Amino acid sequence: MKLQQLLRYGIPIFFAFVVTALVPAARATLINSSLLNSGFESPVIGKKTYSIMNESSVPGWDTTATDHMIEIWSTGFNGVSAYEGNQFAELDANQQATLFEDVSGIAANMKLDFSFAHRGRAAVESMRFTITDLGADGLMGTKDDTTLFSKIYSDGTSAWGYYTSASEKQILSTGNTIRVSFDSLTPGSVGNFLDAVDLNVAAGAPEPGTWATLLLLSFASCGPAVLRGIRRPVAGC
């Protein structure tokens, strides 16, 4: 291969390879973990026991239950260990309900990454996890709400299932208050354990493939000009 051909075709390929290899580590810069009391460690209820308390006693979390009660278990109670830490929550305290937390102050077009652990209590149980933008009014159930993500997860009683957004389509914020909610699909007062919930906010950057494509296009159009540059300038390169 002639030197001129090597420079023309080899350089773009080389740079694309380098960028593809290096950019993933810098693709998204973590800003903060947004949820309060994500592992239900507060308030401390003691060892190998459980407590049903008003939502006002559980920092960060609220419930749609009409009695406003949230149920917290400590690790080891009834033979169930927490996924992490010393405590976890049950979605159904005295009735089928949704456990949720609202997060404000996230700018628009931020990348949202989630993770949580879910487990059935009495059988294989299902719940719906949803991330909702509450719109300009900040209220749930109004016309300006936008569902950013929603999916049903099911788990049995033998082990925790752990889920993340890694394999999901990118979730972007829209600048309003965001509600993270876990909706029990199990009727009654027994169902759905939850632990290790997290919502991370990151400043996104173009994917590695995007950088590589841009570089390839740039070199495809300007590479020959570099070789000819010593003879005459080329506009735009």
Instruction: Report all structural domains of the chain as residue ranges with CATH numbers, in order of start.
Output: 3-24+207-228 (no CATH), 28-204 (2.60.120.260)
**pTM for the whole structure:** 0.74
The CA-CA-CA angle for residues 76, 78, 81, to 5°, reads 30
Give residue 24's pLDDT.
39
Terminal-to-terminal C-alpha distance of the chain: 25
Give residue 101's pLDDT.
98
Quick check: 106 and 178 in contact, CB under 8 A? Answer: yes
Residue type, 85: G
pLDDT at 153 over 80: yes
Q: Which two tokens stand for residue 26?
A: 């810098």
pLDDT at 119 over 70: yes
List C-alpha distances in Å: 12 to 1, 2, 3, 150, 233.
16, 16, 14, 41, 20
| Secondary structure of residue 135 in the 3-state scheme | coil
Q: How confident is the model at residue 33 (pLDDT cuts 50, 70, 90)?
A: low
Q: What percent of the chain shows pLDDT beyond 70?
A: 72
Q: How confident is the model at residue 203 (pLDDT cuts 50, 70, 90)?
A: confident
List C-alpha distances in Å: 13 to 17, 22, 26, 55, 215.
6, 14, 21, 58, 9
Q: What is the DSSP letter of 10?
A: I
pLDDT at 228 over 70: no
Q: Which residue has the tokens 């950088």?
A: 211
Average pLDDT estimate for 210-237:
46
Taking the C-alpha atoms of residue 178 and residue 72, their distance in angstroms, rounded to an integer, is 24
Radius of gyration of the chain (CA): 25
Give residue 34's pLDDT.
82
